[in-house]
């Protein structure tokens, strides 16, 4: 809503982060961004879209960013009735963006399941305090790197530069580490580099991100891919299994269903 198309990466990144937070709830099955982003900036009939996607609830919202301030709106809609279960507006400093993401996800989970299971994690993040300017700059670079996911050699190099800058600014930022590892792995497979980044460096960054945030399935996924291409299949299996268990909140259900 900023009126600046160059800011699309920010709203897309924020939306993806909220989706990631929602998937942490074992009570919810959440559709991936590739399925839902097709409705971006469209005037849609919520009940129709909800039935087409096969979901009971839809979250929609907007973000307006100006300087160091951000306004986020989010509303949870019941597909069957079209009723708004909850609607929130957040006017915050950009330095609070990570807390707001948790807060939005926590309120949505509470509205659907009746239990605010995200409250503890939210309190833990609030106790850490605001992110430093360098960490916020690193987050910005990670979001900008994500805007170049339509891979070409030129886009690959732009994404890689943003992620290298993010790591330089915040060496202990897990998302920057596994984002870089995943990107250079893709560059290795796609032959985008004259001298590809060796698998050992990919694994080093992926494992560093796992150590920094062991609950992030994307870090384990990237580590698994690095080990696979380095022919360390035992470690590949370990991290691939962990990634699946973290990412698929309904894994036990699917396992029992598959045995039927």
More confident residue, 119 or 136: 136
CATH topology assigned to domain 5-128: Rossmann fold (3.40.50)
Distance CA 54, CA 251 (A): 19
Arithmetic mean of pLDDT, 64-89: 85
Q: What percent of the chain has pLDDT over 90?
A: 4
Q: Give the pLDDT confidence of 95-127 residue by residue, as tens digits.
A: 788 788 878 888 887 777 765 544 435 444 544
Mean pLDDT across the chain: 78
pLDDT for res 251:
43
pLDDT for res 202:
81
Does the pLDDT of residue 249 top 80, yes or no? no
In this structure, whether the domain defined by 133-247 belongs to CATH 3.40.630.30 is answered with no
Q: Give the pLDDT confidence of 230-247 residue by residue, as tens digits.
A: 888 888 898 899 888 877
CA dihedral (158, 69, 120, 15) positive or negative: negative
pLDDT for res 68:
81
| Predicted TM-score (pTM) of this structure | 0.56
Arithmetic mean of pLDDT, 46-68: 84
For the chain, the structural domain boundaries read 5-128, 133-247
Does the pLDDT of residue 253 top 60, yes or no? no
């Amino acid at each position: 809503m900023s009126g600046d198309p160059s800011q699309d990466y920010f709203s897309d990144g924020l939306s993806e982060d909220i989706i990631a937070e929602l998937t942490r709830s074992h009570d919810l099955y959440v559709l991936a961004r590739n399925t839902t982003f097709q409705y971006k900036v469209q005037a849609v009939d919520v009940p129709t879209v909800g039935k087409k996607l096969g979901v009971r609830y839809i979250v929609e919202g907007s973000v307006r960013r100006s300087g160091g301030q951000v306004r986020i709106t989010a509303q949870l809609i019941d597909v069957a009735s079209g009723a708004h279960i909850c609607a929130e507006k957040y006017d915050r400093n950009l330095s609070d963006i990570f807390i707001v993401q948790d807060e939005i996800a926590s309120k949505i989970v509470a509205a659907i399941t009746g239990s605010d299971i995200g409250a503890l994690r939210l309190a833990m993040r609030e106790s850490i305090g605001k992110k430093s300017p360098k960490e916020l700059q690193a987050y910005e670079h990670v979001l900008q790197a994500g805007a170049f996911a339509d891979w070409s050699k030129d886009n690959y190099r732009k994404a890689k530069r943003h992620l290298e800058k993010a790591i330089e600014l915040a060496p202990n930022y897990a998302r920057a580490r596994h984002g870089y590892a995943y990107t250079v792995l893709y560059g290795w497979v796609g032959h985008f580099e004259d001298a590809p980044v060796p698998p050992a460096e990919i694994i080093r960054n992926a494992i560093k991100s796992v150590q920094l945030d062991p609950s992030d399935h994307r870090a384990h996924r990237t580590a698994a891919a690095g080990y696979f291409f380095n022919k360390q299949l035992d470690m590949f299996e370990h991290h691939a299994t962990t990634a699946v268990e973290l990412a698929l909140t309904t894994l036990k259900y699917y396992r029992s269903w598959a045995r039927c």
